């Protein structure tokens, strides 16, 4: 019996030593793991940096896409305004040419001392058309100015 008790004590002591040894190995392994694998830590840092850069890039691309869309809309608007002004300019040139021709005819008739009422009427109609073309051009310019001022006015109202 005494031998049994002695064996039991020895086995218990051995198990305690084994348990203590295992605890020591796991704590040493936990402490040694980062030191043993510095590349893994660097890889994890690089993965984190890469994820952050990817997120920043996505945000920049979204912001750039919004800016590009806004600029494209502005270019389209300005192109329409330029087309309208071009049409008004053509109309004014055509009217000015007609007015010059009628004035030349009127001067020729005046120099010959011939009063031609239809030449006076044509000249006045051409001048009236030139005034209309000028007014249309000015209206187009005012519309352009108003279209630029409207967002500023709305922004000022929103801030107030």
Show pLDDT as tens, one digit a residue, over the chain (160 residues): 677 778 788 888 888 888 777 777 666 555 555 545 778 888 888 889 898 989 999 998 999 999 999 999 988 988 888 888 888 888 888 888 888 888 888 788 878 887 777 877 888 888 888 888 888 888 888 888 888 888 888 888 888 7
Residue 81 forms part of a structural domain: yes
Q: Would residue 147 count as lying in a domain?
A: yes
- Flag whether 105 is in a domain: yes
| 87-119 b/e (C-beta count within 10 Å ≥ 16 → b) | ebeebbeebeebbeebeebbeeeeeeeeeeeeb
9 is a domain residue: no
Domain that holds residue 69: 55-159
Domains in the chain: how many in total? Answer: 1
pTM recorded for the entire structure = 0.47
């Amino acid at each position: 019996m005494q031998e049994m008790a002695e064996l039991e004590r020895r086995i218990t002591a051995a198990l305690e030593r084994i348990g203590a040894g295992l605890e020591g190995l796991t704590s040493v392994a936990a402490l040694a793991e980062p030191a043993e694998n510095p590349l893994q830590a660097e890889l994890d840092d690089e993965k984190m940096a890469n994820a952050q850069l990817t997120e920043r890039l996505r945000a920049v691309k979204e912001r750039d896409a919004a800016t590009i869309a806004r600029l494209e809309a502005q270019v389209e608007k300005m192109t329409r305004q330029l087309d309208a002004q071009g049409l008004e300019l053509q109309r004014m040139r055509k009217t000015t040419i007609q007015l010059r021709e009628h004035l030349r005819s009127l001067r020729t008739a005046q120099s010959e001392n011939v009063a031609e009422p239809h030449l006076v009427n044509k000249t006045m109609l051409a001048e009236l058309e030139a005034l209309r073309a000028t007014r249309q051009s000015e209206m187009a310019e005012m519309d352009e100015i108003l279209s630029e001022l409207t967002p500023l006015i709305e922004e000022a109202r929103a801030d107030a």
